[in-house]
Structure 1
Amino acid sequence: MSDDIDLSQAMPTEERFTAEAPDERAQPSELDRKINEHFAGAVVRKDLVKAVKGNAIVPSYVLEYLLGQYAASDDEATIQAGIDRVRDILAQHYVHRNESELVKSKIKERGRYRIIDKVSVTLNEKDDVYQASFANLGISSVVVDSATVTAHQKMLVGGVWCLCDVEYFHSDDAKVSPWILGSLKPIQMSNFDYDGYLAARAEFTTDEWIDLLIQSIGFDPEMFGRRAKLLQLVRLIPFVERNYNLVELGPKGTGKSHIYSEFSPHGMLISGGEVTVPKLFVNNANGRLGLVGYWDVVAFDEFAGKKKRTDKALVDIMKNYMANKSFSRGVETLGAEASMVFVGNTSHTVPYMLKHSDLFDELPESYHDPAFLDRLHFYIPGWEVEPIRSEMFSDGYGFVVDYIAEVLKSMRNLDYSDRYQKYFTLGSDISTRDRDGIHKTFSGLMKLLYPHEKAGPDEIEEILRLAVEGRKRVKDQILRMDKTMPGVKFGYADKVAGWRPVTTLEEDEFPNYYRTQQSEIDGDAATANELASLASPTKVPKASLGVPAAESLREGHLEFQENQRGISYDTLLLPYLQGSSEISIIDPYIRLPHQGRNLVDLLALLAVKKEPAEEISVTLVTKEDTSDPEHRQLLMLDYIQGSAAAFGIKFNVAWDETIHDRSIRADNGWKILLGRGLDIFQKGSNSHYDLSFHKQEFRQVAAFGITYIREIRHDSDGSSSSNGGIRG
């Protein structure tokens, strides 16, 4: 950077920085190599932030700004040298509040000293000057020239992290502050090559690009399914889309507010109860604009809470702003572009909220209002997001936060909302407000995933469907509150295949509780049993309805959505294995611990269901993991064999390097085709204290399909045979 920090005065690194450099890591992945090839200098290893942060209470984007200057490389020697340099910078120039007097002394003794601190500015009307306050240094009334304030107006609202040269000159005039601002540089990127960004995007597949964005947020993409990744990226839409209104309610600890406090210098996170009309919109006393006039994103943390006191005037002006992008100041109407984000915790399960109230149940009374909620463009189902665990963080390469923040900011001027119309058409009865919500979400996801506009119909359909679902979740809850609002058939028409309805995941999981005026209009309010009875004899009903009773088992196919719960081998497989004594499981990938656990879950169910005095033969046909010199797969399967034998399961393994498809065949005449084999569950937590560790029904599944085929085997006398191994 042009205004580089001078380390010639730096003293030895102090003991406060005790974090060691990251451990020796495995060789970079192919994706990491590709990232460094096409975005050299704009990416950083995401585990480095922890290595340099120490006890500095500073946003990640500040640390990544420094790492981007000195450690944006895939060369280990350069990285280690960069880490050491950033540590020295923090040790010498970051101001700790409990050491503010020491820093003041350095400024006085040296006359001029560079610091890293959060700077906010106010206008002193009496003296007609701007004055800066330094959050950690604890000094104020530092005069700032008008040109600096004009160039960096965010200092007027909320403050900005800066590199500052502060000088000291004592005056006999008690009214004159001895502190002088020599120079100020906000910690953010000044320019970037957008055309180069688009050209580099074209070098990545969609899956690779999504994984790069997930690593840029700081997460390991291997820990997330496709839907989970997209929900994480929806959190970024407010940064790339003007006046986007987003809500996320869910359990604690899922990282709802992290992105808005750490990801971008253009976002402001405030507590839901700490904002006023003057602070958020405009101060009528002095005409100063509030947060919405200077920040791209204003996020309200801890927004939920039924008993929270709220300012009705604030709610009213917020309604108008969210709908019309404007607010009134006396007789004058002002406009702004800030997106609004509302995040909060839920205290009840989804079925509980659906049965007793609605999915906005936790909001304060003033915000639990159809007119306010109808302004929301998307509802992120926070209950689908896994609680953050240490193993979910990435040590791969991602964009330096400040770089991607500037990219997203630059795309706020673009509109991709019509890019789906070449292939799809929204339903004709979708209202203008519903359509706006869908369009803004779709446009935001297009900018994030396909900024180069090279997306095929399947890729466009994926994000269009998610955009429709997010708005539908909002509208369905409003319909539960206000029966006078007309229902809407949410979906879109494929110009080739016709109408495609869209449902929410909780609607599929809990159809009996998800009854709304709209669902009754659509004819979707029938119970699971009613729908099952209407199913075609050759087709299994929708996945959310479960598997029919054993006496009415039917051939057919089921599809399950990612993040769906309530699925288990007990209901999915066991009914089709009744009456069998010989079972063959064909699955080429039973080698990792969680895959072995899935196999054990199935064998345990078979052991419980069989007659105690009988034995069942189970053969696993799989591939050998020849890449593991420690032979952990063989040891695992050998242990399972011994354990199963004690409970009447004769478990054997057959090796076949040619297999690919996954299936289960039983001697009762049923064959089950498994798209993902037994590996249908997301990895989740490995803690024995997590209920989902012990009950499959509590785990989230990956997206998968399953097909049931009836294979009647006849004996030599022409009669069909069935061995009574597993009880019904």
Structure 2
Amino acid sequence: MSEVSEVSWEASVEPDAPVDAAPAQSELDRKINRLFPGVVVRKDLVKAVKGNAIVPSYVLEYLLGQYAASDDEATIQAGIDTVRKILADHYVHRNQSELVKSTIRERGRHRIIDKVTATLNEKDDVYQAEFANLGIKGVLVEPATIKAHPKLLVGGVWCICDIEYFHSDDARVVPWILGSIKPIQLSNFDFEGYLAARREFTTDEWIDLLVQSIGFNPELFGRRAKLIQLVRLIPFVERNYNLVELGPKGTGKSHIFSEFSPHGMLISGGEVTVPKLFVNNANGRIGLVGYWDVVAFDEFAGKKKRADRALVDIMKNYMANKTFSRGVETLGAEASMVFVGNTSHTVPYMLKHSDLFDELPDSYHDSAYLDRLHHYIPGWEVDTIRGEMFSSGYGFVVDYIAEVLKSMRSADYSDRYQQHFTLSSNISTRDRDGIHKTFSGLMKILYPHGEATPEEIEEVLRFAIEGRKRVKDQILRIDSTMADVKFGYLDTGGVWHSVSTLEEDEYPAYYYRERREGTETTADGGEPTPGGSAPTVEAEAPRQPEPVTEPPLFEGHREFQENQRGVSFDTLIIPYLRGAGQITIVDPYIRQFHQARNLMELIEAIARTKDAADEVNVKLLTAENIESADKLRKQLEFLVKIKQGAAAGGINFDVAFDDTIHDRSIVTDAGWRILLGRGLDIFQYVTGDAFDLATKLQAFRQVKAFGITYIREGG
């Protein structure tokens, strides 16, 4: 063990330098390329080839998958050049449409990449195509083409097309002729090979591969945050799945549904009509739900938005029964429904004044409609998208994973938990369906090969229960006739495990509101009562005020969930350090900038709460960063800066190094021992932006999952 009290050099302390755009391949990247050759691509390449082409990511990755699905740098570069040339020669920019039409005329035939929509001309009994960017319409399409690609009729499909030009003296004849058409999507794949390769990955590796496939760097996401991202994929792998996500702007809620898959359709919430979505009774034509796997409604929130009552009723029936009517005929469809929208208030504000569906239009703020939702993604837990969050690692070509997910829609994994766990007996059929569909979808995404440990199954089950509980608890606020539900499960030993939502643990005073109209009371002098209601406090005769006494400090163990807010050193640790003259902190990982910052923030809190006339001795026992000489030098600089800063607050700070320590704790001479599961490194990434509240106030940060134990020692 070595002591450090001073270091002679001075240097500015800065966060780690940003990662290069294309770092060396990780072990996971090499494994991905080895087990999925030809169907994975480096995720930063899309930006490299996109330029000003306004096309979905799956179109670009389809091309990259053809030419740059490799880990060989020369092959990648040659592939990028090829894709750029294809886009330059064949992608139609709106502002260059006349030039492209001229090229077709002069050459007689030219290949283009454009979004194609087809309609039936009943008068002439022919199908006609319209090209979005090229700006031509009335192009004849063979019935066989429509039969092979029916999505051309609803919403349109991105295609590679050969267009011919033949002018006729007959003004009624369109000169444009469709020579060939090929939708941009994978034609086939080896599902058994997919399952065999999945078995070679650990669960953590597989989750990281999926997160990279979405386009994000998994290193910047915790386990819960990764699962939230993957829940967005469930509508693609699960039939008739009803999902809602409400949260702040800029968190990527609609990205998955517009960019990720050729089987999803994103439409504005204000553009929804019965004919467009279900059926046009005038001509009998089926709407979007008949042709797309996922129909997502963007910008769905907004109290002032008007909604067609007939549409709401048809949607409720479809979400519950998977059917809708065309005249006297009842039709079925399997499209999943996704509703995404922005919130304008914080979670505690919504819980105190209304509910977590507060932002929805009045027509949808209805218990019967909301009860059809299977899962509520807490969008407020999702970070605002930042540049450094995007991945430069390898992930599936999105068209490939989209086809994999589509192929699994008919599979049912909803019973995979039943040999290990049993749901609460008072969970209603609709609640059970919501839990089952979320569980089945996540299991297909994470464990398509059907091999999962009881602990892994339990994790997925708890996540599924929580998402449905979030829906039901808010319905209980809206509709007092709904029965309370006890959400949880029994294990094989008969032990009951209750499930709570994160906001329930964060804001219990607001979460457990009285369900009677106009009343918002919580339990007095204890934990609020679960289940949506809290006991009222009976009136008592006036009493003389009693002397104010500090409540005794909690002894025992506490657990905190990932993404939880409202946690700070001021409430978590400082009350146990009051009156201490000697504090020993044991944490082997005070090495990086954010870890040193956390320690400094604890020292700041000690300085704020101690008597100005007192001095406190703080000793840190940590381990040296032996990864490199430069990293060790940085670590020592951080510790010297902390020592200098602490001295100004009357705190004597010293450091000792011991490379054998593992456990993390804080021990005081005032009789408390605090066991820190994660040490002081409990907070998730903070931007450092001076205008971000989370930079200065810990209570506004999300935490990593951790536990803490308080032990009173001595008398």
| Counterpart for residue 161 of structure 1 | 158
> Deviations along 1:82-141, whole A, 9 cap, x unmatched?
111111111111100000011111111111111100000001111111000000000010
1:579 lines up with 2:576 in the alignment: no
1:706 is the counterpart of 2:708: yes
1:40-60 deviation digits (Å, cap 9, x = unpaired): 111111111111101110000
Aligned CA distance change for structure 1 residues 528 and 691 (closer, same or farther; 3 Å): farther
Identity within the alignment, %: 74
Note if contact 1:550-1:575 (Cα within 8 Å) is conserved in structure 2: no
Deviation at residue 554 of structure 1 after TM alignment: 3.5
Task: Write out aligned runs for 1:533-548 (5 A).
Answer: none
Match of 2:404 in 1: 407
Which segments of 5 or more consecutive residues in structure 2 lack a partner in the other structure? 1-18, 530-548
Say yes or no: does 1:136 pair with 2:133: yes
The letter of the residue matching 1:601 is: E
SS in 1 for 2:409: helix
Deviates more, 1:25-34 or 1:410-419: 25-34
Contact 1:674 1:705 in 2 (8 A): yes
Report if the CA contact (8 A) 1:511-1:525 is conserved. Answer: no
**Greater CA drift, 626-635 or 52-61:** 626-635
* Residue 486 (structure 1) aligned with residue 483 (structure 2): yes
Distance 1:328 1:157 in 2: 18
Would the aligned equivalents of 1:550 and 1:576 in 2 still touch at CA under 8 Å?
no
1:609 corresponds to: 609
The aligned residue for residue 695 of structure 2 is 693
Question: By how many angstroms is 1:641 displaced?
Answer: 1.5
In 1, distance between residues paired with 2:628 and 2:528?
46
The one-letter code sitting in structure 2 at the alignment partner of 1:337 is E
1:21-36 to 2 correspondences below 5 Å: 25-36=22-33
Deviates more, 1:293-302 or 1:621-630: 621-630
Q: Secondary structure at the match of 2:228?
A: helix
| Equivalent residue, structure 2, for 1:660 | 662
Write out aligned runs for 1:124-523 (5 A): 124-516=121-513
Map residues 569-648 of structure 1 onto 2, 5 A cutoff: 569-630=569-630, 631-648=633-650
Give the CA deviation at 1:77: 1.2
Asked if 2 retains the 8 angstrom alpha-carbon contact of 1:119 and 1:160, the reply is: yes
What one-letter code is carried by the residue in structure 2 that aligns with 1:624? E
For residue 568 of structure 1, what is the aligned residue in structure 2?
A: 568
SS at match of 2:102: helix
Give, in angstroms, the shift of residue 646 of structure 1: 2.1
Return the alpha-carbon distance in structure 2 between the equivalents of residues 665 and 23 of structure 1.
41
Q: Which among 40, 62, 69 is matched to residue 37 of structure 2?
A: 40
1:13 alignment partner in structure 2 = none
Amino acid at match of 1:648: G
Deviations 1:270-305 (A, max 9, x none): 000101111100111211110000000000000001
TM-score scaled to structure 1, two decimals? 0.91
Name the structure, 1 or 2, with higher relative contact order (CA <8 Å, separation 6+).
Answer: 2
Instruction: Determine whether 1:113 maps to 2:86.
Output: no
Residue equivalent to 1:715: none
Letter in structure 1 aligned against 2:447? Y
Match of 2:542 in 1: none
Q: Confirm or deny: 8 A CA contact 2:566 2:701 kept in the other structure.
A: yes
Contact 1:662/1:674 (8 A) holds in 2: yes
Post-superposition offset of 1:596: 1.1
Q: Structure 1, residues 320-379: CA drift from partner, whole Å, max 9, x if none?
A: 000000001110000000000000001111111111111111111110111111100001
Q: Secondary structure at the match of 2:180?
A: strand
SS in 2 for 1:84: helix
Shift of 1:497: 4.6
TM-score between the two structures when normalised by the length of structure 2:
0.92
Q: Would you say 1:530 and 2:526 are equivalent positions?
A: yes
Partners of 2:514 and 2:522 within 8 A in 1:
no
Relative distance call for 1:649 and 1:528 in structure 2 (3 A) is farther
2-structure distance, mates of 1:512, 1:626: 47
**Equivalents in 1 of 2:64, 2:510: separation in Å?**
50
> 1:512-557 deviations in whole A, cap 9, x for unaligned?
11125689xxxx9854841399xxxxxxxxxxxxxxx965124200
Q: Does the CA contact (< 8 Å) of 1:476 and 1:516 recur in 2?
A: no
CA displacement, residues 51-90 of structure 1 (integer Å, 9 cap, x when unaligned)? 1101110000001111111111111111111111111111
Give distance in 1, aligned partners of 2:577 and 2:240.
54
> 2: distance between equivalents of 1:436 and 1:92?
50
Confirm whether residue 71 of structure 1 aligns to residue 73 of structure 2: no
What secondary structure is seen at the aligned counterpart in 2 of 1:375?
coil
CA contact (8 A) 1:511 1:527 kept: no
Conservation of the 8 A alpha-carbon contact between 1:166 and 1:179: yes
Is the aligned partner of 1:53 residue 2:50? yes
Q: Within 1, Cα distance between the matches of 2:369 and 2:415?
A: 26
Q: Is the contact made by 2:23 and 2:392 (CA closer than 8 Å) also made in structure 1?
A: no
> Aligned equivalents of 1:437 and 1:260: distance in 2?
21
* Partner of residue 544, structure 1: none
Rounded Cα–Cα distance in structure 2 between residues aligned with 1:511 and 1:529: 13
Give, as a single letter, the amino acid of the residue that structure 1 aligns with 2:336.
Answer: S
CA distance in 1, matches of 2:383, 2:20: 26
Task: Give yes or no for contact 1:423–1:457 (8 Å, CA) kept in 2.
Answer: yes
Matched-pair contact (CA < 8 Å) for 2:522–2:528: no
2:282 partner letter = A
Structure 1 residues 23 and 691: alpha-carbon distance in aligned structure 2, compared to 1, 3 A threshold: closer
For 1:649, the equivalent position in structure 2 comes to 651
- Contact 1:359-1:477 within 8 A present in 2 as well: yes
Q: Deviations over 1:366-394 (max 9, x none)?
A: 10111111100001111111111111111
Please state how far the C-alpha of 1:628 moved relative to its aligned partner. 3.1
Deviation at 1:581, TM superposition (A): 1.3
**Kept in 2: contact 1:483–1:517 (CA 8 A):** no
Q: Would you say the 8 A contact 1:487–1:517 is kept in 2?
A: no
Report the equivalent of 1:12: none
CA distance in 1, matches of 2:337, 2:619: 56
Q: Match for 1:710: what amino acid?
A: R
Distance 2:524 2:437 in 1: 34
For residues 133 and 407 of structure 1, what CA distance do their matches in structure 2 show? 30
CA shift, 1:614, in A, is 2.2
The whole-number CA distance in structure 1 between the counterparts of 2:428 and 2:267 is 32
Rate the CA distance shift 1:644–1:232 in 2: closer, same or farther, 3 A: same
